[in-house]
Structures are given as structure tokens and as C-alpha cells.
Amino acid sequence: MKKVSQQISVQAFAPATVANVGCGFDVLGFAIEGPGDLVTATFDDQPGLRIRSVKGENGRLPLEVKKNTAGLSALSLLHHTGWDLNRGICLDIEKRMPLGSGLGSSAASSVASVVAVNALIGSPLAKQMLLPFTVDGELAASGSAHADNVAASLLGGFVLVREHHPPDVISLPVPKELHCTIIHPHIEIETKNSRKILRKQILLENAVKQWANLGALVAAFYEEDYALLGRAVRDEVIEPVRSMLIPGFYQMQAAALKEGALGCSISGSGPSLFALSRSKSQAHRIGMKMGEVLKTLDLDFDLHISKINTIGAEVISEK
């Protein structure tokens, strides 16, 4: 018999993420500390699943369950578990990161939602089993069922997505000294659109470079080899196309590398950039230099400096 929680309200947090990490388009991602989304799931006095509120992002996200990634992924989980929606559930979503930033905003909402709902209904599934439902949310948000953001947000650390459907995800070791600088220029890029501009075919010689770098990057994580990591964070396939959407991209990348970044590329589908380095102070200096480029372009931005978040999504309160 299914264990039903005594809790009436559960709040979960899911962190922002960096997808692709240069050479791993759609298959590699990591979670960062700081930005993320909060979702509270509460037993409701009306049957069904509803979204009661969305805080943040100026009410731009729909309250309709089937049009909202957090709603869709929760619904998918509830159907899978056979939950009787005569005992209704409502969701309150708090966006603590901007939409269209390249930091996995829709993924964080989906992940926080399934983690909260799963805990509310008595945790029928272990955390890693929640991934397929979050991929459903991603499909609705971007028209593509990639799992790199959702897997990193759910599990934390670096994740390699060998297969999206059904998900086969490998958690990779996180080199201890690694720090990340994120610069988010204040422009918005919809993932759907930045996927549309990608070429469907690539040159074999670029593919060879890309998979050589991806293999090398995975080896660098296991070996804690920062020099190899730096050589491997390259993107021969996606960055040359998407960089045209980001003002000052190559100047920011050059500034980061000059300041000693191990590697620097586009975070997810942009416009944010990430740079990896070995200390907090260096990560900070890199951010300042990248920011100088955006100042010359009169573009506002946010900076985030963090270690790699190895925890991923978690329940933060139960009442």
C-alpha cells in the first residue's frame, strides 16, 4: 500500500545549471550555487492539480497546468504514481532566476516541482527516478526533450546524459578546486529559437574534434587534471553559430581566458557565458573583466561566482 505523507505542504529548491559545458551539446551539464527556483506543493481543498501562484518574472508564466513546465512535470509524475487527484494538490512557484538566460530556468521549475510533489505524496520515488517527468517539462518548454539541464539541476554536480529517453545519466566527479563565473547579459534568448538556428548537419572533422574534447573533459574530471580540462572546454559545433546572438561574445571569452580562465563558452542556449577557474578570487577577477566588455556595449548584466553545486535539488521545508 502506498505510504501517504502526513505533510500538508512541502517546499523544494532546484538550482540553476550550465548545460553543454562547451563540447557536450545536450549531453553535459552542471549545477551552480545561488540562483534557482522554489516550488511549494500543498494539499488542496479542491480536487485536481492547479498552479495557485507564480511569483517573479512579472507574471509572464502561465497558470494553466498543461502550459507550465512545473505543472506538466508534476502531472506526469502524479499520473505515473497513480495518485488519486480527488485529493487535490496546488503549486506555488517562486522564480528566483530570469527566463531566457541560458541558466536552465524552465528546468529548475520542473525539477523543484517534481521534488516537492514527490515528497508531499510520501516519496514513492527515489530522487534519480524523478528525471523522466522533468524531461516532459523540458519538451514542453523548448520543443526538445534534452535532459542536460534537468539532470544537473536534480542531481547536482556534473552529469553526462548518455541517453535522453529513457534517461541514462552518469554523475561525474567534480574537481575540488573548480569555480565557475557566470555572466548574464540582460538580453533574453528563447531556447526554442536558439535551437532553430543550429545546423542539422556538421562536418565530420568538427564532429571528431568535438567528441575528442568531450572524452578528454570526462577524463579530466576523473583525473582532476585542470590543464586537460582547460584544453577540452571547446565547442567546434554550436558556439560558432550561437555566438552571433550574444553581443561581445568573443571579447568576453578572450577577456576570461586572458585572466586565466581554464575554459569559457556559452551557458546552455545563452545569452549567459560561463568560465571555469581554480579559485574564488580568480573567478571574481574573470567576472570583472568580462563585465568590462559589456559596459563598453552599454549592456547591463549580473555576475554569479560559485563552486559547482554537488547537492542538486532538495526539499527545504515540510509543514
Nearest 5°: phi and psi at 204? -55, -40
- Whether 181 sits among the annotated catalytic residues: the reply is no
Distance CA 83, CA 162 (A): 30
Amino acid at 107: A
Phi-psi category of 41—alpha, beta or left, where left has phi over 0 and alpha has psi -120 to 50?
Answer: beta
Considering the rule CB under 6 A, would residue 269 count as an interface residue with ligand HSE? yes
Only one of the segments 6-14, 36-44, 143-151, 217-225 lies at the binding site for ligand HSE (rule: CB under 6 A); that segment is: 143-151
Nearer Cβ to ligand HSE (90/140): 140
Amino acid at 284: H
Only one of the segments 19-27, 178-186, 223-231, 251-259 lies at the binding site for ligand HSE (rule: CB under 6 A); that segment is: 19-27
Q: Which of residues 70-89 bind ligand HSE (CB under 6 A)?
A: none
What nine digits make up the cell of 67? Answer: 502550459
In whole angstroms, what separates CA 201 from the centre of its chain? 26
Answer for which of 5, 9, 26, 50 binds ligand HSE (CB under 6 A) is 26
Considering the rule CB under 6 A, would residue 20 count as an interface residue with ligand HSE? yes
Cβ pair 310, 174 in contact under 8 A = yes
Considering the rule CB under 6 A, would residue 235 count as an interface residue with ligand HSE? no
Cβ pair 59, 134 in contact under 8 A = no
- Whether 42 sits among the annotated catalytic residues: the reply is no
Considering the rule CB under 6 A, would residue 137 count as an interface residue with ligand HSE? no
Only one of the segments 18-26, 84-92, 108-116, 289-297 lies at the binding site for ligand HSE (rule: CB under 6 A); that segment is: 18-26
What b/e readout covers 241-256, taking b as 16+ CB neighbours within 10 angstroms?
A: ebbebbebbebbbebb
Amino acid at 216: A
Q: Which of 191, 236, 239, 259 is catalytic?
A: 191
231 burial type by CB count under 10 A (0-12 exposed, 13-18 middle, 19+ buried): middle
Q: Which of 94, 138, 236, 239 is catalytic?
A: 138
Answer for which of 191, 210, 265, 282 binds ligand HSE (CB under 6 A) is 191
Report in angstroms how near the CB of residue 267 gets to ligand HSE at its nearest: 9
**Which residues carry out catalysis?**
138, 191
Residues that bind ligand HSE (CB under 6 A): 19-20, 25-26, 142, 146, 148-149, 191, 195, 268-269
